Amino acid sequence: MAVLNKIRQRSVFLIIIIALALFSFVLADLFKSGGFSGQKDQNTIATINGEDVSREEFARKVEGFQRNRRNTTSTQAVNQVWEMTLQEALLKEQIEKTGILVGDDQFNNMLKQVYAGNPNFTNEAGLFDAAVLEEYVANLKATSPQAYEQWKSMESQIELQAKNQIYYNMIRAGVGATLVEGEQAYLLENETVDLKYVLVPYTSVDKVEVSKEEIKEYINKHKSRFEKEANTAINYVYFEEKPSSKDDESVKAELTDITSDFDAAEDTEAFVGANSDMPYNGEYVFKSALPKENADQIFNLNEGQSFGPYKENDFWKYTKVTGVKQIADSVKVRRILVSYQGSVIDQGDFTKTKEEAKSLADSLAGVVKADPTQFDALAPEYSDDPRSKGNGGDLGWNRYTNARLTPEVKEFAYNNPKGSVEVVENQLGYHVLMVEEANNMQKAIQVATVAKQIEPSEETSSDLYTEATKFEMEASEEDFNALAEESNYEVKTVSNIKEMQEDLNATLGSQRAIVKWTFNEDTKVGDVERFDLPSGYVVAKLTSKNKKGLQSPEDASPEVTPILRKEKQAEIIKKKIAGKSMQEIATSENRTVQTANSVSLDSPTLPGATSEPQVVGTAFGMKAGETSEPLTGKKGVYVIELVKKNEVTPLNSYRTIAERESKTRSANALTRVNKALKSSAEIEDNRSNFF
């Protein structure tokens, strides 16, 4: 009772405590889902300069992109649509600032460009006709409101394209080169200097140390160079699902059990169809088409003899020779193709029925059999093959191994002697064929092969799953690398993984699930996870997780350390050679005074050195006979003496060079503009939350 009384006395206090606990639970959930803006986050793919990109609209564009490009993966489509969306948003902002408008004439010209090849909008002369297009749009408006709304959306896109084109044209017009710039380009390419120099290479100085603080200071001075995206890194072990030696022997035994039945089978094609993991191919082949390792054994068999079982790639095979004959290596064929209404090549142009086409083909074959020279006259008049009708039906020479002939035509061409004429039918129509020439008759064989694929058994797959799962569980508690080494597993690394990356490396390929796992806010450095692959399993450990920002001194060290080391070495060399003449420097440093003639700013390469634009540029600012102070170059420290400046003959006009420079600048301008707009924009990219 005393306890109950105390609870009653403090009931208000308890209610407040419970309310606060519930409130904190709700707050935690809100913060986890993006705070009070969670609804916006769920519907916003990105924000570009304050403008939101709708998830629904973006998803529709991705779906449309994939529909038009069937071999594109989902992530590839997302990234492509993102680049287009980003560029469109940045350009739209610039266009609004400049006040660009599209007039009727410009809009109609853009329509013409977009729909010039569309037969729905051409007149009787086959040319694009705006009146035909207007009639089409009016019909849409009257009969299909939904289709008309889609057309209006398309018009908006075309208008935007026209504005983009105007904007880009304005950019191109503003980057042209003047005649003075043309003259400068001419001098840059053709004006040269002769000079002497002594090079004291950096390698002449003992290796100097570069501290972490020095690297950090350099990064802070050059922030734009060392900005990095958010990235992660993993170590992983790949458990490949492949057949065991036991699986291999089992498949071989399965094939061996049916070889005697295969040898005795009367219907070889049916037997292969019922028992083989590879389809039957009844074509005759030359020795070169057989697998090299077993070509001699198979090709030397007589009809009815067999070879095997033998292993080839991932199959056990047993091959029987079912035919031997002589076939031409290459043939020259003539053809008249007579097609008809409803054939696969009919586009509404053919008037003959199938029966009429056959009758005509038979008649033409009779004429050609009596006089083969009639092909020249008959093919242009009667053939429906645009490729050969103009040259008397000549299909040219075709090699047996890569003949550009349909199966039915090839069958006739290589199984009949020179001069043979026959009508052959297929889905294209009726072919009046003649074998005009047949060269290099040689042995060919027809083979039938029963193949059994070597695949992992259920037992093998189950054992691999157990092995991968065991490693995952143990690696979560122990040292990942040490455990892998103990189990004789190879540990591989993937570094600098980006949020919207798809492919990890050549071994793993596209692994979007692994990438998303590394960036998941619940995944911590050191976490281990198993992933199912079509070819096995991956057990991965997250080894690093870096937010967007500047590179760490450790990450930037490979790039920055050599730069700072050279700077320090240059200072040491400069102090050592200060106040000395070129010959004194050469003698004291065990170097030679070298000569470089006709060196230009356009190609500032010194013999025995490398491209040294700063060193050569200094020479162009010197007077003949003048010696420079020690100069820092790419390969070492230089002291140079200008021997002579080689003047060039002025041109009467620099217009041609100026025009060339203008074209070069124009070609690069758009890429540079887009890059500049992107770098100056405020972009919040949330794609990885959705895809």
The domain spanning residue 514 has which CATH number?
3.10.50
In this structure, how many other beta carbons lie within 10 angstroms of the beta carbon of residue 298? Answer: 23
| 44 falls within a domain | no
Domain extent, residue 13, equals 2-32
1 confidence band (pLDDT: 50, 70, 90): very low
Residues 389, 291 within the same domain: yes
Q: Which of these ranges, 340-349, 488-497, 567-576, has the smallest mean pLDDT? A: 340-349
- 305 Cβ contact list (under 8 Å, min separation 6): 320, 321
| 51 falls within a domain | no
More confident residue, 50 or 336: 336
Per-chain mean pLDDT for the chain:
87
Residue finishing a domain among 547, 571, 590: 547
Residues 250, 237 within the same domain: no
pLDDT of residue 558: 92
41 confidence band (pLDDT: 50, 70, 90): low
Q: Using an 8 Å Cβ cutoff, are 122 and 132 in contact? A: yes
Residues 436, 571 within the same domain: no
Residue finishing a domain among 455, 489, 508: 455
C-alpha–C-alpha distance, residues 368 and 338, integer Å: 14
DSSP summary character for residue 127? S
| 221 falls within a domain | yes
Residues 321, 419 within the same domain: yes
pLDDT digits (tens, 9 = 90+) for 314-326: 999 999 999 999 9
* Phi, psi torsion values for 277, nearest 5 degrees: -90, 5
Q: Mean pLDDT across the stretch 480-505? A: 93
Q: Which of these ranges, 82-91, 296-305, 354-363, 458-467, has the smallest mean pLDDT? A: 82-91
Closest CA to 159 of 108, 120, 116: 108
Q: 677: part of which helix (H) or strand (E)?
A: helix 655-680
Residue 515 backbone zone (phi > 0: left; psi -120 to 50: alpha; other: beta): alpha
Q: Mean pLDDT across the stretch 653-657? A: 91
In this structure, how many other beta carbons lie within 10 angstroms of the beta carbon of residue 494? Answer: 21
The owner of tokens 């001194």 is: 553
Q: How many helices (H) and strands (E) does the chain have?
A: 24, 19
pLDDT digits (tens, 9 = 90+) for 579-612: 899 999 999 999 999 999 999 998 899 986 678 9
Is the sign of the CA dihedral 474, 511, 505, 550 positive or negative? negative
Closest CA to 542 of 556, 531, 533: 531
The 3-state DSSP class for residue 603 equals: coil
pLDDT digits (tens, 9 = 90+) for 470-479: 999 999 999 9
Residues 611, 638 within the same domain: yes
C-alpha–C-alpha distance, residues 489 and 481, integer Å: 9
Q: 40: part of which helix (H) or strand (E)?
A: helix 38-43
pLDDT of residue 609: 64
Q: Using an 8 Å Cβ cutoff, are 601 and 188 in contact? A: yes
More confident residue, 91 or 459: 459
Q: Which of these ranges, 104-118, 369-383, 557-571, 627-641, has the smallest mean pLDDT? A: 104-118
Own/partner pairs, 395-399, CB within 8 angstroms, 24+ separation: 395/332, 395/333, 395/334, 395/335, 396/332, 397/330, 397/331, 397/332, 397/437, 398/330, 398/331, 398/332, 398/333, 399/329, 399/330
pTM over 0.85: no
Residues 385, 260 within the same domain: yes
Please confirm whether the linkage preceding 309 is cis (ω < 30° from 0).
Answer: yes
Residue 284 has pLDDT above 70, yes or no: yes
Task: Write out the DSSP string of 227-244.
Answer: EE--EEEEEEEEEE----
The 3-state DSSP class for residue 103 equals: coil
| Percent of the chain's residues with pLDDT above 90 | 53
**Cα R_g (the chain), whole angstroms:** 39
Q: How many CA atoms lie within 13 A of 483 on its CB side?
A: 19
33 confidence band (pLDDT: 50, 70, 90): very low
Q: Mean pLDDT across the stretch 14-39? A: 47
Indicate the number of domains in the chain.
5
Residue finishing a domain among 529, 547, 565: 547
C-alpha–C-alpha distance, residues 571 and 566, integer Å: 9
Q: Angle formed by the axes of helices 104-115 and 130-143, to 10°?
A: 90
pLDDT digits (tens, 9 = 90+) for 218-266: 999 999 899 888 999 999 999 999 999 999 999 999 999 999 999 999 9
Q: Which of these ranges, 148-157, 408-417, 618-627, has the smallest mean pLDDT? A: 148-157
Structure tokens at 55: 């998830």
Residues 237, 249 within the same domain: no
Structure tokens at 271: 């037997």
Residues 202, 118 within the same domain: no
C-alpha–C-alpha distance, residues 169 and 161, integer Å: 12
Residues 474, 461 within the same domain: yes
In this structure, how many other beta carbons lie within 10 angstroms of the beta carbon of residue 178? Answer: 12
| 269 falls within a domain | yes
DSSP summary character for residue 611? B
| 678 falls within a domain | no
Q: Angle formed by the axes of helices 74-98 and 145-173, to 10°?
A: 70
pLDDT of residue 638: 95
| 116 falls within a domain | yes
Write the CA distances from 212 to 434, 544, 571, 637, integer angstroms.
82, 20, 20, 25
More confident residue, 440 or 105: 440
Alpha-helical runs (H) found in 191-317: 212-221, 245-256, 259-264, 268-275, 295-299
Residues 302, 436 within the same domain: yes
Closest CA to 661 of 168, 180, 166, 169: 180
Structure tokens at 455: 């695949």
The CATH number covering residue 366 comes to: 3.10.50.40
30 confidence band (pLDDT: 50, 70, 90): very low
| 47 falls within a domain | no
Q: Which of these ranges, 172-181, 454-463, 486-495, has the smallest mean pLDDT? A: 172-181
| 55 falls within a domain | no
Q: Using an 8 Å Cβ cutoff, are 206 and 686 in contact? A: no
Residues 508, 615 within the same domain: no
Residues 136, 220 within the same domain: no
First to last CA, the chain: 60
